[in-house]
Amino acid sequence: MALIMRFEEFLHLPNFFYRCVGLVLWGPSGGLWQRLFFHFSVHNLFLTFLAELYFIVVTFKTDLIEATMSLSYASYVAVALVKYYYMLRRKKNMIIFLQRLEVIFPRTKLQQENLRLSHYLQLSKFVTKSYTAMYMVLISIYNLYAIGTRLIYTNWLHVNVIDPTLPYSASYPWNWHDHWSYYVLYVSQGLAGWHATCTQMALDLLLCTSATQLIMHYDYISLSLEKYKSKYAEVYALDVPQRVRVVMELKAFREDMQYISGIVAYHAELLSLSQLLNELFGVPLLVNLFTSSALICFLGFQLSVTRQLDLLIKLALFFFGSILQVYLICHFGQLLIDSSTNVVNAVYFHDWIHADIRYQKMLILIAKRAQRPAILNATSFISVSRGTMTDIMQLSYRIFALIRTMYNE
């Protein structure tokens, strides 16, 4: 016997990463300790960001490669800080959005089968788990590489003496290299990298899981409209006495109107939720896309001038992760557009020809609304789709060519 799937299964990983930065997306609050943990993570990340900015200012004219390396880290942290702000500021609105999603979530086994919930849940789990695994590998390598190589080559193999280095290039107002504060700074930067990654993943995964559920509901409306046979049209084809026909037509009309009224209300709620999704994620998406463009450019430049194999592997992982992040957002944006516009085709192929005129007018209302697709907007500047991915890569290449020219000169 198949188990009834729960709404919380879509939120498992996003809620986990919310809690990793001291916030709660869904479920009971952690109280005072959780709030203290949140403030610690934010302040630690912000101090690390300032140290990276200072390093960039100091080294930009003397060492362009190191400066662009630190620019990559600072860009990554900047996006995380913006997401921190919106996770906290829009928390109540986010909870309202999720509660409204939960209201239309299928409860019974039959409803879940009709909406093909298991398919969309498996898709969501595959995407979120793959994305999580990739970023866990990435942050583990970056956090442990510096101290790991020093421990192996200096302390274990005694092959080479490696000076103490931090995970991320940053400047501090004292000499920490041969001081106990080196270990404090290392832990601080490691936690900052972890919290920045958790913040990035929390909103990215929440966006993907929310978009997946909206896509599921839009697809169900399309499938339902295509399969539904107008009861009024069925009566129209019958050869029965006039009095019987009148009674049957009235009953059929009521059934049809009950069905189509539910679809109209259902579709209107989905459009409202799609608009709310844009309000919640619009600004973080805009910052994410523009910063990712610069980040891809900086990493591409470093890959073009670096010759060390271990550093090339680190950069390639970061480069691939940044591209994957942008593609994931653009891919789900495109899926949302496709699923919402498919409703128009479903209305056209619906059995409407011999339906009652009032029923046909309701179908026109649905088609008119569906002609304007549900689009994932990064505010009013960018409509996110797969074409956005092309635009970002082109912009990244232009910035890359500019930096490469500056480096060659």
The answer to whether residues 170 and 52 touch, using CB atoms and an 8 Å cutoff, is: yes
Which tokens hold the place of 25? Answer: 């997306």
Helix %, strand %, coil % for the chain, to 5?
80, 0, 20
Which tokens hold the place of 90? Answer: 């829009």
Q: How far is CA 218 from the centre of its chain?
A: 19
Contacts of 349 (CB under 8 A, 6+ apart): 225, 226
Say which residue the tokens 């295509």 belong to.
226
The answer to whether residues 269 and 213 touch, using CB atoms and an 8 Å cutoff, is: no
Q: Which amino acid makes up residue 142?
A: Y
Distance CA 130, CA 345 (A): 33
Q: What is the DSSP string of 328-354?
A: HHHHHHHHHHHHHHHHHHHHHTSS-TT
In the chain, what's the furthest Cα-to-Cα distance? 101
Note the pLDDT tens digit of each residue in 256-314: 888 888 888 999 999 999 999 998 888 888 888 888 888 888 888 888 887 777 788 88
Q: What is the pLDDT of residue 1?
A: 37
Q: What is the pLDDT of residue 364?
A: 86
Distance CA 97, CA 304 (A): 44
Around Cβ 180, how many Cβ atoms within 10 Å? 7
Q: What is the pLDDT of residue 150?
A: 77
Distance CA 102, CA 380 (A): 28
Q: What is the pLDDT of residue 317?
A: 87
378 forms beta bridges with 382
Q: How far is CA 148 from the centre of its chain?
A: 32
Q: What's the DSSP call for residue 27?
A: S
C-alpha distance from residue 55 to each of 183, 282, 320 (Å): 19, 31, 25
Q: What is the pLDDT of residue 213?
A: 94
Distance CA 379, CA 169 (A): 33
Distance CA 67, CA 59 (A): 6
Distance CA 337, CA 332 (A): 9
The answer to whether residues 2 and 109 touch, using CB atoms and an 8 Å cutoff, is: yes
Distance CA 168, CA 382 (A): 32
Strands (E), 264-388: 376-378, 382-384
User: Phi-psi bin for 290: left (phi > 0), alpha (psi -120 to 50), beta?
Assistant: alpha
Distance CA 231, CA 234 (A): 5
Around Cβ 113, how many Cβ atoms within 10 Å? 12
Enumerate the H helices of 168-230 as residue ranges: 181-227
Per-residue pLDDT of the chain (409 residues; tens, 9 = 90+): 357 889 989 999 999 999 888 888 887 777 788 888 888 999 999 999 999 899 888 887 777 777 878 888 888 888 899 888 888 888 888 999 999 999 999 988 988 998 999 999 999 999 999 999 999 999 998 888 888 887 877 767 666 666 778 888 888 888 888 788 888 999 999 999 999 999 999 999 999 999 999 999 999 999 988 888 877 776 666 666 767 767 777 887 888 888 888 888 999 999 999 999 998 888 888 888 888 888 888 888 888 887 777 788 888 888 888 888 889 999 999 999 999 999 888 888 887 777 788 888 888 888 888 888 888 888 878 888 888 888 888 888 888 888 788 777 6
Handedness of CA 164, 64, 58, 284 (dihedral sign): negative
Strands (E), 23-119: none
Distance CA 324, CA 329 (A): 9
Q: What is the pLDDT of residue 234?
A: 67
